[in-house]
Structure 1
Amino acid sequence: MSVELQSVPFDPAEAKAALTQLPTAPAVFALYGAEAKDEPYIGRTPNLRGRLERLLQPSAKHPRRLQLAGRVRRIAWHLTGSEFESLLTQFSLLEDVYGAKALERMHLRAPAFVRYLGGNPYPRIVVTNKPSQREADWAYGPFASRAAAERFADEALKLFLLRRCTDDLNPDPSHPGCVYSEMKMCLAPCYKGCTDERYAEESAAVQDFLATRGESKLVVLRGERDAASANLAFEDAAALHAQVQKVEAVRALAPELVQPMNRLRAVVLQASANLDEVAVFLFERGSLRGPALFSTIGMRIQNEQSGSSSLFAQPMALEPVPDETGIREQGTGSNEQEPATHGRIPRTMLEARMEAVLAKLEEDDGSTPSATVRQAHLALLKRWYYRPEVKREGEICFPEGDGHWPIKSLLRGVGRVAAKRLATAKPQ
């Protein structure tokens, strides 16, 4: 991620002259010293001018500010529209200076995954925060925490007969087994309690369950339940329905963000520094791309606070109308015009605009993100996604089953982000 910085020179003797040039807007900033070897101070703030006035202007109550101001020779900044963008920008600047140490400075720990050990002759699942790229197809996450991943893994195993032991098995009929084999909760490959083919079948079912967040098992159970009900076998249908509910409860422990690591794709919509734009980010191939800016010019943004046009009552957060200002009647000499449409544009153009933004983000520049960047971007996405919904700014959309993006849902998300941004905007 490349960050374009604006900058002004800073003279400690004329601090006010430089500080008055700074905007009073959210930004990520860097304070550079006189020497190129000096490490910059990098931070983020909701009010750039106010923060740097407190840091750099002389103050009798805070003499240390004089020491900091005396070492600064240049102020650089990048305006941001959201905390999500600020954190991503701050990491990019820190990573350029400190490399992998930027992870520690921003407390970006690797998220937890449930990993399917498919390379083992007798596969099992474990929880890890260090899934390898070589087995990215078999790592499912990220989860909100290691405890959340462990709970999901434990509950999922209760639906199958996969082994829980960590031993490298060498099946032997003389093996004593374990408590899970005694409770009939494991196929017991340790003492050849099943054939290798039967264990491979069960392992494949577990892998499908993880890859589809339980949908593979739900489809089978729902079909059997409906068939039993159609045949008037209501007791069997009730038992199958109880199993469906149990699987659904396990599925609920894995939010939509939980996907095979190398197939995780998402679009994040955030407010932009410009009121007439929304910032679009794409998470793909292990890293975040963007922001690409989606212009909201020509969209009618509904008032989210209005009862008659609330987003709950009317999910469409925009009302596209053809961009025509009126057509003069031809051949009559009349100056009368047909009703104007106030510069709004049709939905097809809005969809094309969104598709163009996504195509730009999906362009492959041939670069491969480093392990540091992958960990940071995944941690930032996880941290933002698992916030309480009332505190989570912005929107997220996942691809449909066929891999295509839900353009209409994205446009509705743009409308909600833009409406909230306009409602909270303050004059600068």
Structure 2
Amino acid sequence: MATTFHFEHALDFTPAQADEILRTIPPLPGVFALCGARKEDAPYLTQTTDLRRRMRRLLDPPESQSKRLNLREKVARIEYCVTGSAFESSLVLYQATAAHFGYTEARRRLKLHTPYFLRMTMENAFPRVYSTNKLSKRGLAQMYGPFPSRLAAERYCDAVLDLFKLRRCYEDLAPYPEHPGCVYGEMKKCIEPCKQACTPDEYAAETAAVKKFFDTRGESMVIDIGLEREVASSAMQFEKAAALHAQWQKVKAAQALADWLVRPIPKLRAVVVQAAAKEQEHAEEVSIFLLDGGCIVGPERLSTLGVRAVREQTSVGSSLFAQPLMLQAIPLESEAAPADSPETRAAHVLSLLEKRIEPSNDLALLSDHLSLLRRWYYRPEKQRVGEIFFPNEDSGEKGAWPIRKVLRGAARMVLGDPKPLADTQRDAAKEAAKDIKTKILHEGRPDVERVVPVVPKNR
């Protein structure tokens, strides 16, 4: 076996008791394996959104003249695992397939391909940047990604290099004055180290600027140009300020071509929040996954009990009429958090996940995890279920986790999408209030001014 993996549930199966056995299978999403009587028989392994329904299709008595696959007479044991999301199902399916068939067969069956990255050859005397989907231990720290496709990586690469004058040629340079050069030198998009038109220090400074742009996803350059633009504008140098503004827009356009996920592989750290499996009776729990250095660890269950996500329950803002729960007392920031506070639970769960991280030099395993991550992350926003949170970049080398953001995201997973309140006819309510006020005033009750009825829409 390539790895140790065990399903949470295992049942012996016999055709005579098929209906009774299948009734015990929950109608929930998950991953299952149908195993034969002999150990050498390859199991039928797949994921599904309804375990019971999918198994019934495979294990119920076959219909006459039906061409549907039926394994009723070949299965001796059922193994399954309930999952809470498609993200968790894909990860469990990958681990199960690797355990039964090996990593190579798991990659082939799940169609996992290494994502594309931008590689910066810092070990070269004259570094360059190019797109690649081949991981290497030597250049892992200078690989930025993952990107959704090769085209996206090359677009970002070209847009960034248009801001600098780094070389784009593929040859191993041996500079000499009579070198013919290339078209980028003719267009003044390269400082031409091949012709010795620049010193090694000048090229190294240009290389450092490009690397800084990639490390900060362009934020450093945006800030520097913005400050220069403000200085020029304050000094009434409007032409210079206009030129800097055009350059600022060009940098922002290049910056927009890379998602927040694009960063050096060793610094690729994030928390992924997914819905928890509903097999247990804790509806307020979510599953937490940790992404560290490109590898996925988890899940660990996190309870959202006590987390205030009132604002996300409705789409009407912060009105006390719409959200009476906001009247509850909220502890001050200076007060110490209780031992069982949501922040304490979240920090404990993240510490458990960090303890499960095992350093690995297996580039193939890293490639598989990055492929699973890219497959989930780069889905259209409406189809991507779950949330991802990156560490705070201004709090140390690794960065502290945004605990409160994670908790709010977990609460959103439990509560679901915001629900708008029922509409009310305000004009009708005002007219009804006037009629009631006039009627009761005639009866000698001036205190009726405090009565404000609300008329529902369906009346």
Q: Determine if the TM-score, normalized by the shorter chain, exceeds 0.5.
A: yes
Letter of the 2:346 partner, please give it.
M
What 5-or-longer segments of structure 2 have no aligned partner? 332-336, 420-459
Partner of 1:349: 341
Instruction: Report 1:124-139 matches (<5 A).
Output: 124-139=128-143
1:11 maps to a residue whose letter is T
Distance 1:385 1:208, change over 3 A: same
Q: How far off its partner does 1:134 sit?
A: 2.2
Residue aligned with 1:248, SS? helix
RMSD after superposition: 2.7
| Residues 314 and 418, structure 2, Cα contact 8 Å, conserved in 1 | no
Q: 1:116 aligns with which of 110, 114, 120?
A: 120
Cα displacement (A) at 1:40: 1.2
The more displaced of 345-354 and 133-142 is 345-354
- The reply to whether residue 417 of structure 1 matches residue 420 of structure 2 is no
Within-5 A mapping of 1:16-415? 16-61=19-64, 68-99=71-102, 100-274=104-278, 275-300=283-308, 302=310, 306-308=314-316, 349-364=341-356, 366-368=358-360, 370-401=362-393, 402=395, 403-415=399-411
Verify the 8 A CA contact 1:299 1:320 in the aligned structure 2.
no
User: How far apart, CA to CA, are the structure 2 residues paired with 1:259 and 1:115?
Assistant: 11
* Partners of 1:152 and 1:250 within 8 A in 2: yes
**3-state SS of the aligned residue for 2:382?**
helix
Change (3 A) 1:414 1:165: same
Q: 1:365 to 1:204 in 2, by over 3 A?
A: closer
**C-alpha distance in 2 between matches for 1:125 and 1:62:** 60
Q: Deviations over 1:323-361 (max 9, x none)?
A: 9xxxxxxxxxxxxxxxxxxxxx97981111111111111
Aligned residues: 399
Q: What is the CA–CA distance in structure 1 between the aligned matches of 2:95 and 2:224, rounded to whole Å?
A: 46
Distance change >3 Å, CA 375–CA 280, structure 1 → 2 = same
8 Å contact from structure 2 (residues 297, 356) kept in 1: no
| Cα distance in 2, alignment partners of residues 366 and 61 from structure 1 | 52
1:122-181: CA deviation from partner (whole Å, max 9, x where unpaired): 100010011213211100000111100000001111000011110111001111111111
- Does structure 2 conserve the Cα–Cα contact (< 8 Å) formed by 1:56 and 1:66? no
| CA spacing shift, 1:239–1:116, aligned 2, 3 Å | same
Output the CA distance in 2 between the equivalents of 1:284 and 1:191. 43
Letter in 2 for 1:27: G
Call closer, same or farther: CA 1:47–1:384 in 2, change over 3 Å.
same
Could you tell me whether the CA contact under 8 Å between 2:305 and 2:342 is conserved in 1?
Answer: no
Aligned-partner Cα distance in 1 for 2:357–2:30 = 27
Counterpart of 1:75 in structure 2: which amino acid? I
Q: What displacement does 1:384 show?
A: 1.1
| SS at 1:70 equivalent | coil
- Taking a change above 3 Å as real, the CA distance of residues 75 and 422 of structure 1, as seen in their structure-2 partners, is farther
Change (3 A) 1:9 1:309: farther
The residue that corresponds to 2:16 in the other structure is 13
Query: Does structure 2 conserve the Cα–Cα contact (< 8 Å) formed by 1:278 and 1:294?
Result: yes
| Change over 3 Å in CA distance of 1:307–1:126 after alignment to 2 | closer
Q: Secondary structure at the match of 1:270?
A: strand
With normalisation by structure 1, the TM-score equals 0.87
The CA deviation at 1:305 is 6.2
Change (3 A) 1:202 1:124: same
**Is the 1:57–1:65 Cα contact (8 Å) retained in structure 2?**
no
Q: Is the 8 A contact 1:301 1:415 kept in 2?
A: yes
- Bigger CA drift: 396-405 or 356-365? 356-365
1:238-275 CA distances to partner (integer Å, 9 max, x unpaired)?
11111111101100001100000111001110001132
Change (3 A) 1:91 1:187: same
Structure 2 residue matching 1:133: 3-state secondary structure: coil
TM-score by length of 2: 0.81
1:167–1:404: structure 2 CA closer, same or farther, 3 Å change rule?
same
CA distance in structure 1 between the partners assigned to 2:11 and 2:311 by the alignment: 39
The share of aligned pairs that are identical, in percent, is 44
